[in-house]
Each structure stands twice: as C-alpha cells, then as structure tokens.
Amino acid sequence: MKLTVRGVRSVEIEMSEPQRAADFYSRIWNLTEVARDNGSFWFRGTGHCHHILAIHPATKGPAIRRLVFDAANNDIVQSLHAKVASSGCTAEAPHALSGQGGGYGFGFVDVEGRNLAVVCGERDHADTADVRDRPRKIAHVNLNAAQLERSNAFLSDVLGFRKVDHSGPLHFFHCDSTDHSSMVMGAAATPTLNHVSFELPDLESCMRGGGRMRDAGYPIEWGPGRHGSGNNVFCYFAGPEEFPIEYTAEVLQIDDSYEFHGPEYWKWPPGRLDQWGITPPHTARWKRIQDLMLFPAGQHRL
C-alpha cells in the first residue's frame, strides 16, 4: 500500500444562497442529499463515499472551504500527519470526527494557505452500483498556484502524489488509485480553485448531462470534448454563483508502469484544444471564473 491518499473524498464549498445551490446539485446536477443541518447540506454520489459535496452558508461570498482526501486507514492518516507537521505547515492532531460521516482524520493548511484534510473510516455506503446520469465521485480537483513549484513539491514530497503528466500549463498528479489523476495544478496569480470535476459512469451520461444543464439555463462553457492527458471526456459549466464545475467520464486507468509525458507530447495542432477538435474554445466566462474561488482562512479544522 502506498503512503498517500486514494483520491479526493469530498469538497466543501460556501454559497451565499445555500438552499438554491442545494436544489441545483440535487435536481439538476443529480447528486443525492444525505444530510442537512444548521443551513448546511451534504450530498453523495453513487460511489462509496458518505458524501462528496458539502454546501455551507458563506461568510464573504462563494468560496471553496476545504478539500478532503480519502485515506485507506488510520496508519496512513497518522503517517501523512507526521509528514505534514514536519513540513512546517499548520495541522491539527488526528482525531475521531463527530461531523457528518464520522471517521478519523485531521485538517491542515498547505504551503499556499489552502484548507485540506485527510480522512479515513467514514460511514460509507454499500450500494455503489452505477446509475445512469448520476455522478459517481469527485474525479479530480484542479487548483491554481501562485507558487507552482512549491505546491507541486508539497503534493509529491509530503502527500505522496506522483506527477504523471505535464500538458500545457497543467501538472497532473496520481495517487493510490487506478485513475490517471486526482489532482491538477496550474500556475496563476493567486492560490484559488480552477474547477471541481465530477465523474459520470459513461460518455452518454456526460452528453445528456450537458443537455440537462442547458435545459436548466446553464450553458456549456467548454465542451464536449476529450482531453489528451487523462483521455477523459469533458463538459465545463458555471454552477450557482459561478462555481466552476465539470462533468467527466471515461477517465484513463493506469498503474505504476505509466510513463510521464511533457508538453511537447501533448501539443495540439493550431486551433485545436482537445482530441476531437469539434468544440469551440472555452468561453470568456469560463476563463474568468477559473480564478474566483478562494480558500477562507481558518477553515481547515474538522
């Protein structure tokens, strides 16, 4: 077993209108509510995770409160805590969790002030069969980095990720999973969220999801298409309060034999941004909202 996490278990976001956002993520985005309390909402996908999305009332507008990584067991949690603490980053001690889903873990602040956490042992679900048009899990999270080399090194040296590809401005990181990548980093002026990607069971679900979003008044900001690195199908959207989200499917499955490829390998012909080449470039709105969502200070504690 690798000394790293198994992927992104859940994301926690802050919304100025959490009830409106909750309605969107259940009725249109097709997640299933598992709990609500004191103005917050928790949603599951069809996979095992107790929840993959939590929505909390905002204090200063929409934000990305926290990313929660999935660990295999207590030993992994404790080992990663030791590495985070040794790196000099602020981290709370591992402890039993009393919040939704329970479990055991710790929260911390990374080298650029992002709120992250590592958790294991939540009250997960046994019913994990795919359901047409419903997201399974968080496929990956793409973060912007003002100090890209430091953030990349933290993922690799402290959290145990392996950089498997570098395509254009983006660096792709693999962990203890068969998925090509669970984290993506790119250079930017501030350490903000680029987007959160939700995995659907197949290409047809991704295409129907794009249609369902358009019908509900949420146009596709980029897509449909198929990326090079990761080989996944994509459609990108601005969700409620312009939170940047992606539907994806058919993520490339890899093992330790996968060979790293750099920007020259993933270079596209002029005018093309993906394998298919059938979709226009991303909208101006999508470029704008890729750098809006900040991590509020002091929200790392579980």
Q: Find tokens 């926290």 and name the residue.
A: 66
CATH annotation of 8-120 = 3.10.180.10
Per-domain residue ranges for the chain?
8-120, 137-289
CA distance 77 to 40: 26
CB 46 within 8 A of CB 130: yes
What's the average model confidence in pLDDT over 242-255?
A: 99
**DSSP type of residue 179:** B
14-68 residue pLDDT tens: 999 999 999 999 999 999 999 999 999 999 999 999 999 999 999 899 999 999 9
Same fold, 8-120 and 137-289: yes
CATH topology of domain 137-289: 2,3-Dihydroxybiphenyl 1,2-Dioxygenase; domain 1 (3.10.180)
Token pair for 210: 């794009």
Phi then psi for residue 23, to 5 deg, are -60, -40
**DSSP type of residue 261:** B
What's the average model confidence in pLDDT over 261-279?
A: 94
What's the average model confidence in pLDDT over 235-253?
A: 99
Phi-psi region of 7 (alpha: psi -120 to 50; beta: other; left: phi over 0): left
- 164 falls in which pLDDT band (50, 70, 90)? very high
123-160 residue pLDDT tens: 999 999 999 999 999 999 999 999 999 999 999 999 99
CA distance 31 to 137: 10
pLDDT at 97 over 80: yes
Name beta bridge partners: 11. Answer: 53, 67
Phi-psi region of 214 (alpha: psi -120 to 50; beta: other; left: phi over 0): alpha
170-219 residue pLDDT tens: 999 999 999 999 999 999 999 999 999 999 999 999 999 999 999 999 99
Give the list of residues 6+ apart from residue 75 with CB closer than 8 angstroms, or none: none
pLDDT above 70 as % of the chain? 100
pTM: 0.98
- For residue 141, which of 180, 65, 64, 193 has the smallest C-alpha distance? 193
The mean pLDDT of the chain is 98
Element (H, E) at 15: strand 8-15
CB 150 within 8 A of CB 108: no
Q: Where are the alpha helices (DSSP H) in 28-167?
A: 74-86, 148-153
Token pair for 268: 């596209």
CA distance 292 to 296: 12
Q: Which residues of 11-33 are buried (b: 16+ CB within 10 A; e: fewer)?
A: bbbbbeebeebbebbeebbbbbb
> How high is the pLDDT of residue 1?
73
> How high is the pLDDT of residue 63?
99
Name beta bridge partners: 117. Answer: 68, 107
**DSSP type of residue 252:** P
